[in-house]
A = this chain, B = another copy of it.
C-alpha cells in the first residue's frame, strides 16, 4: 500500500528562503499569514490529506463511481465523510473572497493545499478543484445577484461546480458547439444539448451541483463569437437560497476510464434546463477562460502532485528492497543483498523525478505568487506584469508539469520492477491517474499552440521579454559566485537555446505558420526546462545561504544542491535537442499526404 507525507518543510523552505514570503505582507490577505501561521495551515491541510484522503485512494480506484438507474451517481465508500471533513475545514474557500464566506488567504496557499490533496487522492481532489474554478469564473464575471445566490454555497462546499464545454463532435474546437439557449423572457434561458466528459457532473457529495455551461443563444453568430456561458444548477435555488425545483438536466451515463475512477465523468443531458447568463451574451469564452486558466494551473499541480506521491513511494521501496550487489562491491555484506539504492540506474530514475519535483514545486509557487500579485498588488503596473508572466507560464506549467509528471510516475513504477505492475502496490494507479492531466483542460499540444501562437507574441512579446530579462538578470547577478557556477552554466546555455528558438520563430513562422505549429511542442518543453533551471538556480542560492545560516539543515540543503546539480547535468542538455527539432521546421512533416499516414 502506498503512503504519502505532505512536503511541508520543502514548501516552507521555498516560501521563506527562496521567495522571501514576508515581502508580500502588504498584499490583502497576506498580512496575517506569518511564517508560523502558514506552516500551521499547511500542516493541518497536509494531515487531512495524509490521514483522510490518501487511505481512500486505492479503494476509490477499485470501487469507482456507480450510476444508478435513476441517473444518480454514488461515489466510493468513505468519500462522503472525507468530503465533509474537507469542506468543513474551509479548504475550498481558502483563497475565496471573504464577502462571500471565503477566507481571502493567498491563492499560493490554496495551490499548495491542492497539491497535497492531489498527491493524496487526485480523483477526490477534482470535486473541490472544479468548484474552485467555478467560483473563480463567477467572482470575475457574474452579476451581483448570481454571486449572492451561488458563491456562499460553493465556497462553503455545500454545493459543487462543474465545467461543461465538450460535446461529442467538439472538444478543442469550441466554435462547433451546438448546445442551444433560448431566452425565456424572464431573464433566464432554456438550455438544451448534450455535454460529454463532465467531471463531477453528478455525484452524492453535495446537496446541489452548479453546472457552468457553454451554449449558443438563438440567433447568435456562428463559431466562437456566438458562445455564451450559463449557470445551470441541478436544483434551482428558491428565494431563501435553499434547493427548489429539480432542473431538467440529468446524467445520461458515466464513462469507463483508464484512471481517476473515483471521479464521475458524466454525459450530461440538458433538456430545456433553466439557466442564467454569466457576463455578456456571446462573450462566454472570455468568462470560461478565467475558469480554464484557474483549472489549468490546477491540472499542472496534479502533474507535480502525482510525481511527488510516486517519488515518495519509489524512494521508500528502493531503500528497503534488497537485490544484487553494488558494482563497487557489497555495501551491506551482512545482508543477503544490498539495497537497490546502491545501483546508479535506480538513482537515475529517482533523481530524474526528484530533480524535477523540487523545481516544479518552486515554479508552482512562483507562478501562484504572480497570480496573487496580478489580483492583489496595489500597483497597476505590477498587477499587469504579474498577469503577463502568469499568462505566459500557464501553458508551460500545464503542458510540462503534466507531461513530465506522467513520465515520472512511469519511472517510479519502474523502480518497483514487477510489483509496479500489480494493482495492490498502487504505483500503476499513479500512472493511470496522471495520464488524464496531459489531456484535459486543453490537450498539451493545444497548450503549446497557445504558448507559441498567442502568449509569446502578445503585446509585442512583452511577457517573454520580461521573463528572459529576469532569468538573465539572475545569471548576471550571481556570475561571480564560484559555488553557483555549476548551476548557472547549464541555465545560461538553456536560455541561449530558448532565445534562439524564439528568434527562429520570428524569422521562419511569420510567412509559414506551420513552422510554428511544428516546433510548438518542443518550444514548450524547452521553455519548461529553462524555467525549471531558473528555479534550480534560485533554490541552490537559497540552499547555500541556509546551510551557512543553520548547520542543522546541512544535509537537507545538500540533498537539494545534489538534486540541482543532477538536473543541470542531465536535464538541461535536452534544450539542444528541442532547438534542433524546432529548426527542422514543418516541411518534411507537411509533405506527407493524408493517405500516406
Contacts and interface: CB of A to CB of B under 8 A. Distances in A.
Interface of A: 166, 169-173, 176, 196-197, 255-259, 315, 318-319, 322-324, 327-328, 336-337, 339, 341, 343-351, 354, 406, 410, 413-414, 417-418, 420-424, 428, 431-432, 435-436, 438-440, 443-445, 448-449, 453, 512-514, 516-518, 520-521, 555, 558-559, 562-563, 565-566, 569-570, 573-574, 576-577, 580-581, 584, 586, 588-597
B513 A328 contact: yes
Contact of A595 (B406, B555, B580): B555
- Most chain B CB inside 10 Å of its own CB: which residue of A341, A422, A577: A577
Given A197-B418, A347-B589, A347-B590, 19 more contacts: A166-B418, A173-B323, A173-B324, A256-B423, A258-B431, A315-B597, A341-B594, A341-B597, A350-B597, A351-B589, A414-B444, A414-B445, A432-B432, A559-B596, A562-B588, A563-B592, A569-B580, A569-B581, A570-B581
A171 B418 contact: yes
A523 B567 CA distance: 18
A516 to B, nearest CB: 7
Contact of A562 (B327, B563, B592): B592
Contacts of A445: 343, 345-346, 349, 414
Nearest to A351: B589
Contacts of A584: 569-570
Interface of chain A, main secondary structure:
helix
A354 B513 contact: no
B423 A439 contact: no
A172 B351 CA distance: 21
Given A422-B256, A431-B258, A597-B354, A171 B417 contact: yes
Contact of A336 (B176, B323, B418, B514): B176
Contact of A569 (B171, B558, B588): B588
15 contacts: A169-B322, A171-B323, A172-B323, A172-B324, A173-B323, A173-B324, A196-B418, A258-B423, A319-B597, A327-B517, A351-B592, A414-B438, A555-B593, A566-B588, A576-B577
A523 to B, nearest CB: 11
A436 B176 CA distance: 39
Given A517-B345, A589-B351, A562 B597 contact: no
Contacts of A351: 589, 592
A432 B258 contact: yes
Contacts of A336: 176
Number of copies: 2
Nearest to A520: B345
A513 B327 contact: yes
Contact of A328 (B327, B514, B566, B570): B514
Nearest to A428: B258
A36 B563 CA distance: 58
A417 to B, nearest CB: 5
A591 B569 contact: no
Given A319-B594, A323-B170, A562-B596, A257 B422 contact: yes
Contacts of A593: 555
A421 B258 contact: yes
A596 B555 contact: yes
Contacts of A341: 594, 597
Contacts of A513: 327-328
Given A414-B443, A432-B258, A345 B521 contact: yes
A141 to B, nearest CB: 25
Contacts of A348: 518, 521, 589
A394 to B, nearest CB: 18
Nearest to A416: B439
Which one of A421, A423, A593 has the highest number of Cβ atoms from chain B below 10 Å of its Cβ?
A421
Nearest to A560: B596
A281 to B, nearest CB: 23
Contacts of A431: 258, 435
Contacts of A196: 418
A596 B591 CA distance: 51
B439 A420 contact: yes
Contacts of A423: 255-258
A439 B421 contact: yes
A290 B438 CA distance: 41
A322 B171 CA distance: 10
A256 to B, nearest CB: 4
Contacts of A517: 327, 343-345
Contact of A327 (B172, B414, B444, B514): B514
A347 B424 CA distance: 38
A442 to B, nearest CB: 10
A292 to B, nearest CB: 15
Contacts of A594: 319, 339, 341
A319 to B, nearest CB: 6
Which residue of A328, A348, A595 has the most chain B CB atoms within 10 A of its CB atom? A348
